[in-house]
Amino acid sequence: MKLSTLILNLSLAIFLVAGCNDSPVDNDKNKSGDHSETITKFIVTAKPTALENAADYLLTADSLTSGTVSTLNNGTEQDGTYRYYTTDQEQTKFFSFLYGNNGEVATYTLNNNGDLEKIASFQSDRVHAFAPVNKDILSMHIPGISQQNDPTARWYRINTETVQKVDEGEINTKELAGNGEWAFFSWIKQVDDKVFAPYYSISAAGQNVFSTQYPDSAWIAVFSYPEMELQKIIKDDRTSFIGRYYTDGLSVDESGDVYAFSYSVANDDEHQFISTKPTAVTRIKDGKLSFDQDYFFNIEEASGGYHMTNHIYASDGFAVLLMTKEQNGRYDEGKRLAVVNLYDKTFRWVSGFPEASNIFKIMERNYLVSEDGSTAHIGITLKKEGEKGEGSSFIYNIDVANASATRGLKVEGGRITAIHKLENSSN
């Protein structure tokens, strides 16, 4: 063999051996934990059906499309009967608000085992509206039926990194309304670098009704952030107010346009519905601080006389609507689902969802949309077959493109009240 050939073969052998030895070293490095692994869980909150006035339990699940979870000897029990939930924008922290004066705000994360772990808590006023804004959770305590003489709303800015209140301020709701009544915020939403706060006008503060003399107008207060200084009030008279009590009425699409959902539930002192406007959707185009007068989607007309009670924005202009044939009240939820395309104003009923007559209870809020925006998740409790009362609870997964529903995760022993996704990235 020639010397040059021998040298070439020897070099090749050394290269192959070195190459083979590199892989185990890299694999050992990966096994040592130098790569990042994300733990994902779904948080399903459920109120035990076997107990009266029971608090929610926080349950964790790996999937919303199949399987079973139970409240029996399982989950994290909450303190207080009525709880409301949100996550930060990164979905790494889960916040639990107590509906009550001076109630606890509890914060949870996922530990490295994928279990919920309480990391902080503090006391706060009763919270009527809250939402993630930048690195904060912005919450509002709004005067209404429990406060007869003080129209002062109080806002709190909770930093999601320190998990503590870092700022607070006041809003005079009577001055904001400017019509002799009080402004009551239905919800709050981050839009670009501002906060949009739709509100309705109430005249019966201190009584057990939210009556008004202005049932046929919609208002949005626009605040700077984080200063929460009022910049403008946007008004439209084509619908009644946006949202409902504890119910979000705004969604922002991928292009930054804001869609406003009016459920038309304004009432007088006798609890009679007095708005002459239909349940409908209006729009505020990206970067604008006024309603787009060229856009109006009459949901009542498109559905053949049904009323919209809530909505879930999915993606690409698709939204799931909760609908009812009867005039809906301030706390009622429609039990029939529809999918609309906000862009071309098409309307379709959802197939595969249980008949309204078979539903005992449907989730009021805290629905979840898949990361790709293709599926909306909603929890329901069915009636017992052949009996009165609560039966089994399931999460139904709504394919928005096909307007179809499939039954997914079963929740034993509890009525579903919220669905959230939570992640923990560990190194």
- Give the Cα separation of 418 and 365 in Å (integer): 7
Distances (CA, A) of 65 to 142, 393, 409: 38, 13, 5
What residue spans of 3-101 are helical by DSSP H? 3-29
* Tokens (6 digits) for 48: 């035990």
* Tokens (6 digits) for 385: 């077959």
Strands 129-133 and 136-141, bridge-based pairing: antiparallel
For the segment 90-121, what is each residue's pLDDT rounded down to a tens digit?
999 999 987 766 677 899 999 999 999 999 98
Low-confidence ranges of the chain (pLDDT < 70): 1-36, 50-53, 80-81, 100-102, 144-148, 204-209, 327-330, 386-388, 425-427
- Give the Cα separation of 12 and 356 in Å (integer): 73
Q: What is the pLDDT of residue 21?
A: 41
- HSE, CB side, 13 Å, CA atoms: give it for residue 234: 24
Query: Quick check: 332 and 359 in contact, CB under 8 A?
Result: no
H or E stretch covering 302: helix 299-302
Q: What is the pLDDT of residue 255?
A: 97
Q: Say which residues have a Cβ less than 8 Å from residue 367's Cβ, sequence separation at least 6.
A: 312, 320, 376, 377, 378, 419
For the segment 336-381, what is each residue's pLDDT rounded down to a tens digit?
999 999 999 999 999 999 999 999 999 988 999 999 999 999 999 9
Query: Quick check: 111 and 138 in contact, CB under 8 A?
Result: no
Q: What is the pLDDT of residue 19?
A: 43
Q: Is 255 exposed, middle or buried (0-12, 13-18, 19+ CB in 10 A)?
A: exposed
Strands 94-98 and 83-87, bridge-based pairing: antiparallel
**Cα 28 off chain centre by:** 42
pTM confidence score: 0.88
